[in-house]
């Protein structure tokens, strides 16, 4: 059979493999990007589904409007205003089937074959794949501890000119590094980019998973032009299985997004959306988030204790102040794929850092998920990984 040329751009199966590894028995896997299933509020969700089916069963089992269930969009717009100071009207919110769909739709909207997308690296594999599916040329922009490096952005804009069609960033507790942009860098970035007519996708998947009380203002907060498209999701704060997420864009862009959403799947699941709205009306999601961030913070701390105790001092990391990951850097002449090979033989897995670079040039880093494992597993798995790393670095 002949396949579309885009399939040649989609050869990296690291994400697929990582998702499968988490289901392998006996494996202590630090690979997943999942929240911890024990945090999913199963009883409340069950009750909420029951209520929806009792009260609005026919509507819930029907098609929904393409933009999504109105009440849910209204609650999301209010929530974003209260939490982040964002001013989106209900009409500027569309419900998507996971934020992955929002990334896919954004690629579909802006990218023709060979167009350039600038994005901070390392970056989320799912976004790399969504963009590659439209045959974009991915141009990596370096980051430092404050966020995207603006000099590098300027250079890339000068070099690629009109070919640049999109910028993709994750300013909060980034996947894979766990780092966040500083408020100064956020503001400076939006001011700088406002001189260009290039849309920016702000992926806020982890923005609410802060281990400190403070939430940073999103890029969209500083955006006066309607240039930033904001993508949020309930996958990390609630549960990923319902596939309820959202995209916010100003009216002119929203019209186009709705055409694409309609073509993609007509609408997101009506029952999942109504359940979500019902849950939000009768439960305190913020209290739930406070509980899960408390749990993840303890797991992060547990992982840091084992790293500090078991790993050689040449392995560096920055303490993540939220999110799900620790990003570990080995000396530049070492390859985390070799470490993975040895770790797998002892039933420990993680994702090698090279997978998070579109060109795969850097291979001395690794992503470790801490949200999804018990303290015992973190202790056991990281002790093994520490021993293997010590031996590998000594060679
Ligand atoms: C940065 C980022 N964006 C988007 C997603 C997709 O999430 P979902 O489609 O479940 O909303 C993920 C999932 O891991 C992610 O890490």
Q: Is the pLDDT of residue 22 over 80?
A: no
What's the DSSP call for residue 5?
G
> Residue 257 is part of a domain; what is its CATH number?
3.40.640.10
Cα separation, 325 vs 333, whole angstroms = 23
What is the Cα–Cα distance from 78 to 244, expressed in whole angstroms?
17
Q: What is the CATH number of the domain that holds 366?
A: 3.90.1150.10
The number of residues in the chain equals 395
Token output for 2: 């002949």
Say yes or no: 316 and 297 in one domain: yes
Residue 109 confidence (pLDDT)? 97
pLDDT given at position 145: 86
Residue 49 lies in a domain: no
Per-residue confidence at 165, pLDDT binned at 50, 70, 90?
very high
Residue 14 pLDDT greater than 60, yes or no: no
Specify the residue with its C-alpha closest to ligand 1, atom 3: 205
User: Nearest to residue 86, comparing CAs of 238, 1, 242, 207?
Assistant: 207
Q: State the DSSP H helix or E strand holding residue 373, giving kind and residue range, or none if neither.
A: none
Give the model confidence (pLDDT) of 235-246 as tens digits: 999 999 999 999
Range of weakest confidence among 60-69, 251-260, 350-359: 350-359
Task: Determine the pLDDT at residue 390.
Answer: 97
One domain, residues 151 and 26: no
Which residues in 318-342 are b (16+ Cβ under 10 Å) and which e?
eebbbbbbbbbbbeeebbbeebbeb
With a CB cutoff of 8 Å and minimum separation 6, the contacts of 28 are 347, 348, 349, 373, 377, 380, 381, 384
Q: What is the mean pLDDT of the chain?
A: 93
- Which helix (H) or strand (E) covers residue 351, if one does? strand 351-352
Question: Which comes out higher in pLDDT, residue 358 or 40?
Answer: 40
Q: Which atom of ligand 1 is nearest to the CA of 206?
A: 1
Instruction: Give the three-state DSSP class for 82.
Output: helix
Three-class SS of 201-228: EEECCCCCCECCCCCCCCHHHHCCCCCE
Q: What distance in angstroms lies between residue 306's CA and the mean position of ligand 1's atoms?
A: 28
CA dist., res. 297 & res. 281, Å (int): 27
Q: How far apart are CA 94 and CA 68, in angstroms?
A: 6
Is the residue at 181 inside a domain?
yes
98 plus 217 within the same structural domain: yes
Separation between Cα atoms, residue 247 and residue 256, nearest integer Å? 12
Quickly state the pLDDT bin for 185 (edges 50, 70, 90): very high
Kindly state if the Cβ of 175 falls inside 6 Å of ligand 1: yes
Q: Is the pLDDT of residue 11 over 60?
A: no
Residue 171 within a domain: yes
pLDDT (average), residues 321-337 = 95
Does the CB atom of residue 233 touch ligand 1 within 6 A? yes
Q: For the residues 340-347, what does the mean pLDDT come to? A: 92
Tell me, what's the pLDDT at 75? Answer: 98
Q: Are residues 195 and 293 in the same domain?
A: no
What integer pLDDT is reported at residue 312 of this predicted model? 96
352 located within any domain? yes
* CA gap 111, 100 in Å, rounded: 16
Omega of the bond prior to 160 within 30 degrees of 0, cis?
no
Handedness of CA 353, 164, 226, 261 (dihedral sign): negative
Which domain range does residue 187 map to? 58-282
What CA–CA distance (Å, rounded) separates 150 from 153? 5
Same domain, 200 and 324: no
126 Cβ closer than 6 Å to some ligand 1 atom: yes
50 part of a folded domain = no
The mean per-residue pLDDT over the stretch 160-189 comes to 96
Report pLDDT for 350.
Answer: 92
- Which of these three, 282, 315, 346, is where a domain ends? 282
Return the number of other C-beta atoms located less than 10 Å from residue 379's C-beta.
18
47 belongs to a structural domain = no
Q: Where are the beta strands (DSSP E) in 89-176?
A: 93-97, 116-120, 137-141, 143-144, 147-148, 164-169
Which pLDDT score is estimated for 18? 57
Same domain? For 272 and 296 the reply is no
Q: What is residue 19's predicted lDDT score, i.e. its pLDDT?
A: 56
Q: Which of 259, 282, 305 is the endpoint of a domain?
A: 282
| CA 159 – ligand 1 centroid, Å | 30
Q: Best substitution site from 102, 124, 372 to test ligand 1's pocket, by max atoms within 8 Å of Cβ?
A: 124
What is the pLDDT, as a whole number, of residue 77? 98
User: Do 179 and 309 belong to one domain?
Assistant: no
Count of domains forming the chain: 2
Candidate from 16-30, 284-298, 309-323 with smallest mean pLDDT:
16-30
CA dist 225 and 121 (Å) reads: 25
CA of 385 to the centre of ligand 1 (A): 26
Instruction: Report residue 103 CA to chain centroid gap.
Output: 10
Residue at 46 is within a domain: no
Asked if residue 157 and residue 111 are part of one domain, the reply reads: yes
Q: What Å distances lie between residue 272 and 50, 61, 82, 129, CA to CA?
A: 12, 10, 24, 26
C-alpha dihedral over 153, 154, 156, 159, to 10 degrees? 180
**Same domain for 317 and 335?**
yes
Quickly tell me which residue has 């599916």 as its tokens: 133
Q: Which of 249, 282, 315 is the last residue of a domain?
A: 282
For position 15, what pLDDT does the model report? Answer: 54
How confident is the model at residue 7, as a pLDDT?
79
Q: How far apart are CA 329 and CA 315, in angstroms?
A: 5
110 domain-assigned: yes
Q: How far is the CA of 311 from the centre of ligand 1 (A)?
A: 30
Which of 16-30, 80-94, 172-186, 271-285 has the lowest average pLDDT? Answer: 16-30
Residues 265 and 309 both lie in one domain:
no
Residues 192 and 319 in one domain: no
- My answer on whether 108 and 241 are in the same domain is yes
């Amino acid at each position: 059979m002949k396949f579309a040329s885009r399939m040649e751009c989609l050869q990296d199966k690291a994400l697929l493999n990582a998702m499968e590894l988490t289901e392998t028995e006996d494996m202590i896997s630090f690979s997943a990007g999942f929240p911890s299933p024990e945090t999913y509020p199963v009883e409340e969700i069950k009750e909420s589904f029951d209520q929806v089916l009792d009260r609005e069963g026919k509507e819930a089992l029907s098609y929904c409007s393409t933009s999504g269930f109105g009440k849910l969009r209204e609650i999301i717009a209010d929530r974003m205003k209260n939490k982040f100071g964002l001013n989106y009207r209900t009409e500027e919110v569309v419900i998507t089937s996971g934020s992955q769909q929002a990334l896919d739709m954004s690629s579909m909207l802006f990218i023709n074959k060979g167009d350039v997308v600038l994005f901070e690296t390392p970056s989320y594999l799912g976004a790399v794949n969504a963009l590659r599916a439209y045959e974009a040329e991915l141009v990596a922009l370096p980051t430092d501890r404050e966020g995207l490096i603006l000099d590098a952005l300027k250079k890339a804009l000068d070099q690629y000119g009109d070919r640049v069609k999109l910028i993709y960033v994750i300013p909060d507790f980034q996947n894979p590094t766990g780092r966040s942009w500083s408020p100064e860098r956020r503001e400076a970035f939006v001011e700088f980019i406002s001189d260009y007519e290039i849309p920016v996708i702000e992926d806020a998947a982890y923005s609410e998973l802060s281990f400190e009380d403070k939430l940073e203002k999103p890029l969209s907060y500083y955006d006066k032009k309607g240039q930033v498209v904001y993508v949020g999701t309930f996958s990390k704060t609630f549960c990923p299985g319902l596939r309820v997420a959202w995209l916010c864009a100003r009216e002119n862009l929203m019209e186009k997004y709705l055409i694409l959403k309609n073509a993609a799947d007509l609408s997101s699941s009506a029952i999942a959306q109504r359940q979500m709205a019902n849950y939000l009306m009768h439960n305190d999601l913020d209290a739930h988030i406070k509980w899960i961030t408390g749990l993840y913070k303890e797991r992060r701390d547990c992982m840091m204790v084992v790293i500090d105790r078991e790993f050689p001092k040449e392995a560096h990391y920055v303490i993540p102040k939220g999110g799900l990951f620790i990003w570990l850097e080995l000396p530049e002449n070492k390859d985390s794929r070799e470490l993975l090979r040895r770790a797998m033989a002892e039933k420990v897995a993680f994702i090698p850092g090279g997978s998070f670079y579109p060109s795969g040039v850097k291979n001395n880093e690794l992503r470790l998920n801490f949200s999804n494992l018990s303290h015992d597993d973190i202790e056991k798995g990281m002790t093994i990984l520490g021993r293997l790393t010590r031996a590998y670095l000594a060679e």
